[in-house]
Structure 1
Amino acid sequence: MTGAEEIRLDEDDLIVSKTDPKGRITYANRRFMEIAGYSEPQLLGKPHNLIRHPEMPRGVFRFMWATLQAGQEFFGYVKNRTSDGGYYWVFANVTPDYTANSQLAGYFSVRRRPNRAAIQQVSHWYRQMRAIESQQSASKAPEASMQWLLDQVAAQGCTYNELVRQLESLPE
């Protein structure tokens, strides 16, 4: 496989991982390793952003972390990079994971095949967000593109989670 190829998830694929509170991988299921092209030793203890595709706007992750730090689960579309430079899109659900005494233990993430029509829409938004980020300083770029995304959501007259649910229900 050449590096620019897309891997499309199957309908029944579930990619599962867990991280510590700092985002270092503590668990990866076999399907995650197969799709991303990494072995367990190559993943465990590494930052989850190891698979971050450079076309993903930083503002999406700023929003994700703000959502998680507020104790809420995050749903979103993410383009990930494989070990050989290929890529794969996922519909991600990331949830804070707590110990029995309510201490943050880390994060649990389940990713599945995304709706292709939704990917077309978010790809357009992500291009806009990257353009905004390219016009800002490195420290201001994530906040500026996240605000643009939130403005787009507000213009739809719904919440972010409602918009994501609408995108997931688009006809493919």
Structure 2
Amino acid sequence: MAGKEVFFGDDQFIVSKTDTSGKIIYGNEIFIQISGYSEAELLNQPHNILRHPDMPATVYKHLWDRIKQKEEVFAYVINRTKDQDFYWVFAHITASLDDSNKIIAYHSVRRKPDMQALNAIKPLYQALQLAERSGGIHAGEALLNTELQKRKVTYDEFVLSL
């Protein structure tokens, strides 16, 4: 993995909000700091400006499928900084709704991941990426579903059990 790993504190929370198309409309101070971008460079940019190439598309698809249905989702995510360094987060993502229950934005709060949990996540993400390279996102989804069925858990149960 290129770049160096960047860490943030146990008591720090990375917060951002995007519009319905995924463009950043808010980021707290730690979000801006750890990303390496200025606030002006981040605002109105697609959130995937932080997407790390080692992050499986399968997990992003699962995440977006869930939040578009107004369901909360938890996920381990690896992000890339402006300087090509990287950082892991444990993300909690929800849809923000208006008075008529229409999605108006997405809100994400990320905390420092449990390092023991990453010992389970990293090999799974590597396997998902290999599957995606050889068979596309459908192969990644099939592999993820197989792994979850083996464990007899849902994605949420798996992630929250780590």
* TM interval, short-chain normalised: over 0.9
Give the letter aligned to residue 18 of structure 1: K
* Cross-structure match for 2:82: 83
TM-score by length of 1: 0.90
3-state DSSP of counterpart to 2:55: coil
Q: How far apart, CA to CA, are the structure 1 residues paired with 2:153 and 2:103? A: 30
* Cross-structure match for 1:162: 157
Residues matched between the structures, number: 161
State the 1:147 CA deviation.
2.6
Structure 2 unpaired stretches of 5+:
none
Structure 1 unpaired stretches of 5+:
168-172
3-state DSSP of counterpart to 2:9: coil
Segments ≥4 residues shifted beyond 3 Å: none
* Cross-structure match for 2:30: 31
Q: How far apart, CA to CA, are the structure 2 residues paired with 1:58 and 1:23? A: 15
Q: How far apart, CA to CA, are the structure 1 residues paired with 2:62 and 2:137? A: 9
Matched, 1:101 2:100: yes
Give the letter aligned to residue 65 of structure 2: A
3-state DSSP of counterpart to 1:95: strand
CA RMSD of superposed structures (Å): 1.1
State the 1:112 CA deviation.
0.4
* Cross-structure match for 2:46: 47
State the 1:151 CA deviation.
1.8
TM-score by length of 2: 0.96
Superposed counterparts of 1:129-168, under 5 Å = 129-136=128-135, 141-167=136-162
State the 1:160 CA deviation.
1.4
* Cross-structure match for 2:58: 59
Q: Is the 8 A contact 2:74 2:156 kept in 1?
A: yes
Give the letter aligned to residue 46 of structure 1: Q
Superposed counterparts of 1:7-22, under 5 Å = 7-22=6-21
Q: How far apart, CA to CA, are the structure 1 residues paired with 2:111 and 2:73? A: 14
State the 1:144 CA deviation.
2.1
Q: How far apart, CA to CA, are the structure 1 residues paired with 2:21 and 2:114? A: 30
Q: How far apart, CA to CA, are the structure 2 residues paired with 1:104 and 1:76? A: 20
Q: Is the 8 A contact 1:62 1:143 kept in 2?
A: no
Q: Is the 8 A contact 2:70 2:103 kept in 1?
A: no
